[in-house]
Amino acid sequence: MIKKSSHHMLYKKSDLFKILGEHKKTNNKISKYLPEQYNLNIFMIYKNKDKLSNYKKLFTKYNVLIFKYVYSAGGKNILIFKKYEEFELFVNQIIEKNIHLWSKLNYNDYKNYGLYRKGQMNIEWVLQEYITNPALYKKKKFNFRSYYLFNNFNKSGYYFTKSIIATSTFEYKNEDFMNKDIHDTHFYRTDEQITFPDDFITIFTKKQIQNIHKQIIELYGIISKILKNKIECYPDTKDCYHLYGVDLLLTDDLQIKILEANTNPGCSADIFQKGKYNYPEMIFENILDSIVNNYFQLDKQKNKTKSIKSTKSIKSTKSIKSTKSIKSIKSTKSINTLDLDTPQFVKL
């Protein structure tokens, strides 16, 4: 397992943007994947160490902004604002509701709180550019839940070639921003398992699908290079790995935008298991093959024996067969030579 201190780099909704933003000057490819984002500490506003009015200009710069609590999950504490006055009213309401927690708070103590305790304090938020030109699936807004695996054993990242799709409940329209049925994409709002690229072959051309894959691979390649020198394992093992569930949005001009990375990748909803693919089974079979087997450096005979034994308890052997050799992408140009129709991790 990766140490909690390392998790923090990708745990909060603000952290991934922070580490990518730090590398924008040295890598000009990063900017196109990042919506603009600003950290907002409401406790500092309460203590008059920051002014809420400083953020008013952002409502002139951007048509719409989305406001997220960094410790929330499952679509909670996410609001969309078009007017500064509505945003100002909401922030003041947060301050009023939390005065009893903040009035005697020592902020230096707060910084040492654990994640759960920090999550009860309602202090750290992000204000992010809202994407008003999303690509649509059957007229609904959607996002990708993509899977990225980092292996500290060989300091490499892996991209899973299938992404599961979350949609909104109602058809998209560029208004009524407080209506979550229109603007919030989540798996409990999605009636059936939708997979990229399988369910998009009648929507996008093969070339367009290849380009979307290429963008995700480039993005994860950038993240892998950053994490190589930052990831730490617990003391009992130096050979840890972690699976991240990364939420991506696609614009109507087919540009990928990263929303957040979740250290809990999320595979519990029924649609992850009921449909064309059993996502938990596929993903963890691939992890066993690409990480565990390679770590123990099994010889061919042991690999063969282990594979025979393991397949007895698995309903379908089709995905097992597809994971026997992990493909490697040495550059985004080599994507055309990969079998991206097969569910598998490809090494970046």
Sorted by sequence, the CB contacts under 8 Å of residue 288 that are 6+ apart come out as 310
Same domain, 339 and 285: yes
- The predicted pLDDT at position 315 comes to 44
Question: Per the domain annotation, does 111 fall within a domain?
Answer: yes
Place 23 in a pLDDT band, splitting at 50, 70 and 90.
confident
User: Mean pLDDT, to the nearest integer, of 62-76?
Assistant: 87
pTM passes above 0.85: no
Tell me how many domains the chain contains: 2
Same domain, 229 and 179: yes
Convert the pLDDT of each residue in 191-246 to its tens digit. 899 999 999 999 999 999 999 999 999 999 999 988 887 767 766 666 677 888 99
Same domain, 158 and 238: yes
User: Mean pLDDT, to the nearest integer, of 159-169?
Assistant: 95
Question: Per the domain annotation, does 21 fall within a domain?
Answer: no
CATH number at residue 338: 3.30.470
Please tell me whether residue 180 adopts helix, strand or coil conformation. Answer: helix
What distance lies between CA 254 and its chain's CA centroid?
A: 18
Question: Per the domain annotation, does 50 fall within a domain?
Answer: yes
Place 314 in a pLDDT band, splitting at 50, 70 and 90.
very low
Q: Is the pLDDT of residue 313 over 60?
A: no
CATH number at residue 81: 3.30.1490.20
Cβ 162 vs Cβ 258: under 8 Å: no
Residue 233 pairs with which residues in a beta bridge?
Answer: 2
Among 44-48, 151-155, 312-316, which range has the highest average pLDDT?
44-48
User: Mean pLDDT, to the nearest integer, of 148-161?
Assistant: 88
Average pLDDT for the chain: 83
Q: Is the pLDDT of residue 326 over 60?
A: no
CA distances 229 to 156, 232, 234, 329, Å, are 11, 9, 15, 21
Same domain, 191 and 214: yes
DSSP letter at 104 equals: T
User: Mean pLDDT, to the nearest integer, of 45-49?
Assistant: 96
Residue 5 half-sphere exposure toward CB, CA atoms < 13 A: 7
Domain of 115 in residue numbering reads as 36-129
Same domain, 190 and 259: yes
Convert the pLDDT of each residue in 1-16 to its tens digit. 444 444 445 556 567 7
Residue 244 pairs with which residues in a beta bridge?
Answer: 148
- The predicted pLDDT at position 159 comes to 94
Q: Is the pLDDT of residue 309 over 60?
A: no
Rounded distance between C-alpha atoms, residue 312 and residue 279, angstroms: 19
Among 39-48, 222-231, 309-318, which range has the highest average pLDDT?
39-48
Q: Work out the burial of residue 96: count CB atoms within 10 Å of its CB; fewer than 13 is exposed, 13-18 middle, 19 or more buried.
A: exposed
Looking up tokens 């993509």 gives 146
What distance lies between CA 129 and its chain's CA centroid?
A: 17
Domain-terminating residue out of 129, 153, 184: 129
User: Mean pLDDT, to the nearest integer, of 40-63?
Assistant: 95
- The predicted pLDDT at position 337 comes to 66
Question: Per the domain annotation, does 176 fall within a domain?
Answer: yes
- The predicted pLDDT at position 334 comes to 59
Q: Is the pLDDT of residue 55 over 90?
A: yes
- The predicted pLDDT at position 42 comes to 98
Question: Per the domain annotation, does 13 fall within a domain?
Answer: no
Same domain, 108 and 201: no
Residue 87 pairs with which residues in a beta bridge?
Answer: none
Residue 261: both structure tokens together: 């990375």
- The predicted pLDDT at position 237 comes to 62
Same domain, 108 and 171: no
Domain-terminating residue out of 74, 96, 129: 129
Cβ 71 vs Cβ 12: under 8 Å: yes
Same domain, 289 and 157: yes
Higher pLDDT, 37 or 332: 37
Please tell me whether residue 284 adopts helix, strand or coil conformation. Answer: helix
Place 124 in a pLDDT band, splitting at 50, 70 and 90.
very high
Domain-terminating residue out of 129, 153, 173: 129
Question: Per the domain annotation, does 78 fall within a domain?
Answer: yes
- The predicted pLDDT at position 13 comes to 58
User: Mean pLDDT, to the nearest integer, of 72-86?
Assistant: 89
Same domain, 214 and 254: yes
Q: What DSSP letter does each residue of 41-62 carry, written as one string?
A: EHHHHHTTSS-GGGGTTHHHHS
Angle 206-227/15-22 helices, nearest 10 degrees? 80
Same domain, 192 and 124: no
Same domain, 102 and 210: no
Same domain, 327 and 234: yes
Question: Per the domain annotation, does 79 fall within a domain?
Answer: yes
- The predicted pLDDT at position 16 comes to 74
Question: Per the domain annotation, does 300 fall within a domain?
Answer: yes
